[in-house]
Amino acid sequence: MIKILAGGKKTSGAYQELTNEYEKRLKKPFDLKWEVMDEDKLTAELKKWPFSGRDFVILCDERGKMLGSPEFAQVLENSFNYSKNVTIIIGGAYGFDDEIRSKADLVWSFSKLVFPHMLFRVMVTEQIYRAQEILSGSKYHHE
Protein backbone atom coordinates (compact mmCIF):
# COMPACT_ATOMS: atom_id res chain seq x y z
CA MET A 1 0.00 0.00 0.00
CA ILE A 2 1.10 3.53 -0.72
CA LYS A 3 0.11 6.19 1.78
CA ILE A 4 -0.33 9.72 0.46
CA LEU A 5 -0.27 12.63 2.87
CA ALA A 6 -1.54 15.83 1.29
CA GLY A 7 -1.74 19.36 2.57
CA GLY A 8 -4.74 21.47 1.67
CA LYS A 9 -8.42 20.87 1.18
CA LYS A 10 -10.12 17.64 0.23
CA THR A 11 -10.44 17.11 -3.51
CA SER A 12 -13.87 17.37 -5.07
CA GLY A 13 -15.61 17.59 -8.43
CA ALA A 14 -13.81 16.74 -11.65
CA TYR A 15 -10.42 16.41 -9.94
CA GLN A 16 -11.82 13.81 -7.55
CA GLU A 17 -13.46 11.94 -10.41
CA LEU A 18 -10.14 11.73 -12.28
CA THR A 19 -8.27 10.67 -9.15
CA ASN A 20 -10.90 7.99 -8.50
CA GLU A 21 -10.65 6.74 -12.08
CA TYR A 22 -6.95 5.97 -11.73
CA GLU A 23 -7.22 4.79 -8.15
CA LYS A 24 -9.84 2.14 -8.94
CA ARG A 25 -7.40 0.59 -11.46
CA LEU A 26 -4.69 0.08 -8.84
CA LYS A 27 -3.90 -3.34 -7.41
CA LYS A 28 -1.84 -4.32 -4.38
CA PRO A 29 0.80 -3.16 -3.54
CA PHE A 30 -0.04 0.00 -5.52
CA ASP A 31 -3.35 0.63 -3.74
CA LEU A 32 -3.61 4.00 -2.01
CA LYS A 33 -4.55 5.33 1.38
CA TRP A 34 -5.09 9.10 1.45
CA GLU A 35 -4.75 11.42 4.42
CA VAL A 36 -5.59 15.04 3.61
CA MET A 37 -5.06 17.66 6.28
CA ASP A 38 -4.68 21.38 6.78
CA GLU A 39 -1.29 22.60 5.53
CA ASP A 40 -0.21 23.89 8.95
CA LYS A 41 -1.13 20.58 10.59
CA LEU A 42 0.79 18.66 7.91
CA THR A 43 3.90 20.78 8.46
CA ALA A 44 3.68 20.31 12.25
CA GLU A 45 3.26 16.53 11.83
CA LEU A 46 6.24 16.31 9.47
CA LYS A 47 8.49 18.27 11.83
CA LYS A 48 7.92 15.71 14.60
CA TRP A 49 7.53 12.63 12.40
CA PRO A 50 10.45 10.25 12.91
CA PHE A 51 10.80 9.22 9.22
CA SER A 52 11.70 5.67 10.30
CA GLY A 53 13.65 3.23 8.18
CA ARG A 54 10.46 1.21 7.64
CA ASP A 55 9.09 3.93 5.39
CA PHE A 56 10.42 5.05 2.03
CA VAL A 57 9.38 8.70 2.11
CA ILE A 58 8.92 10.64 -1.10
CA LEU A 59 8.34 14.39 -0.83
CA CYS A 60 6.86 16.09 -3.88
CA ASP A 61 8.61 19.44 -4.30
CA GLU A 62 9.63 21.41 -7.39
CA ARG A 63 13.16 21.62 -5.96
CA GLY A 64 13.56 17.85 -6.09
CA LYS A 65 14.92 15.32 -8.55
CA MET A 66 13.08 14.87 -11.82
CA LEU A 67 12.37 11.24 -12.67
CA GLY A 68 10.92 9.70 -15.79
CA SER A 69 8.00 7.34 -15.36
CA PRO A 70 10.17 4.19 -15.70
CA GLU A 71 12.56 5.53 -13.05
CA PHE A 72 9.67 6.24 -10.70
CA ALA A 73 8.33 2.71 -11.30
CA GLN A 74 11.75 1.35 -10.34
CA VAL A 75 11.78 3.41 -7.13
CA LEU A 76 8.43 1.91 -6.12
CA GLU A 77 9.46 -1.62 -7.09
CA ASN A 78 12.70 -1.35 -5.08
CA SER A 79 10.78 -0.11 -2.04
CA PHE A 80 8.28 -2.96 -2.27
CA ASN A 81 11.10 -5.49 -2.75
CA TYR A 82 12.71 -4.29 0.48
CA SER A 83 9.34 -4.49 2.27
CA LYS A 84 9.25 -0.78 2.89
CA ASN A 85 6.09 1.20 3.30
CA VAL A 86 5.89 3.93 0.68
CA THR A 87 4.68 7.32 1.82
CA ILE A 88 4.26 10.13 -0.69
CA ILE A 89 3.85 13.60 0.75
CA ILE A 90 2.31 16.45 -1.21
CA GLY A 91 2.98 19.74 0.52
CA GLY A 92 0.95 22.86 0.86
CA ALA A 93 1.20 26.02 -1.18
CA TYR A 94 4.66 26.85 0.18
CA GLY A 95 6.22 23.41 -0.16
CA PHE A 96 8.64 22.09 2.43
CA ASP A 97 11.45 23.68 4.39
CA ASP A 98 15.01 22.36 4.28
CA GLU A 99 14.62 20.47 7.57
CA ILE A 100 11.73 18.39 6.27
CA ARG A 101 13.28 17.88 2.81
CA SER A 102 16.47 16.59 4.41
CA LYS A 103 14.55 13.80 6.21
CA ALA A 104 13.04 12.34 3.02
CA ASP A 105 14.46 9.40 1.10
CA LEU A 106 13.58 11.10 -2.18
CA VAL A 107 12.52 14.63 -3.05
CA TRP A 108 10.64 14.23 -6.32
CA SER A 109 9.89 16.98 -8.81
CA PHE A 110 7.48 16.63 -11.69
CA SER A 111 8.72 19.88 -13.17
CA LYS A 112 10.09 23.28 -12.27
CA LEU A 113 6.50 24.43 -12.67
CA VAL A 114 4.14 24.68 -9.72
CA PHE A 115 0.76 22.94 -10.03
CA PRO A 116 -2.55 23.39 -8.18
CA HIS A 117 -2.89 20.81 -5.38
CA MET A 118 -6.03 19.22 -6.76
CA LEU A 119 -4.48 18.72 -10.21
CA PHE A 120 -1.24 17.44 -8.71
CA ARG A 121 -3.10 14.76 -6.77
CA VAL A 122 -4.54 13.50 -10.06
CA MET A 123 -1.07 13.53 -11.61
CA VAL A 124 0.50 11.59 -8.73
CA THR A 125 -2.26 8.99 -8.85
CA GLU A 126 -1.85 8.61 -12.61
CA GLN A 127 1.93 8.17 -12.22
CA ILE A 128 1.39 5.44 -9.61
CA TYR A 129 -0.99 3.71 -12.03
CA ARG A 130 1.56 4.17 -14.83
CA ALA A 131 4.29 2.66 -12.61
CA GLN A 132 2.07 -0.35 -11.94
CA GLU A 133 1.51 -0.80 -15.66
CA ILE A 134 5.20 -0.36 -16.54
CA LEU A 135 6.18 -3.03 -14.04
CA SER A 136 3.49 -5.41 -15.29
CA GLY A 137 4.63 -4.97 -18.89
CA SER A 138 1.35 -3.55 -20.19
CA LYS A 139 1.15 -1.28 -23.21
CA TYR A 140 -0.22 1.70 -21.22
CA HIS A 141 3.22 3.31 -21.14
CA HIS A 142 5.29 3.55 -24.29
CA GLU A 143 8.66 5.13 -25.01
Query: Tens digit of pLDDT for each residue in 2-31?
Result: 999 999 888 789 999 999 999 999 999 999
CATH of domain 2-136: 3.40.1280.10
pLDDT at 84: 84
Angle at 96 between CA 90 and CA 98, to 5 degrees: 145
Name the band, by pLDDT with cuts 50, 70 and 90, for residue 75: very high
How many residues are listed for the chain in this entry?
143
pTM: 0.94
Are 121 and 90 spatial neighbours (Cβ–Cβ below 8 Å)?
yes
Where are the chain's structural domains? 2-136
H-helix or E-strand spanning residue 35: strand 32-37
Q: What average pLDDT score do residues 104-117 get?
A: 91
Half-sphere exposure of 11 (CA within 13 A, CB side): 23
Name the band, by pLDDT with cuts 50, 70 and 90, for residue 54: confident
pLDDT at 119: 93
pLDDT at 132: 98
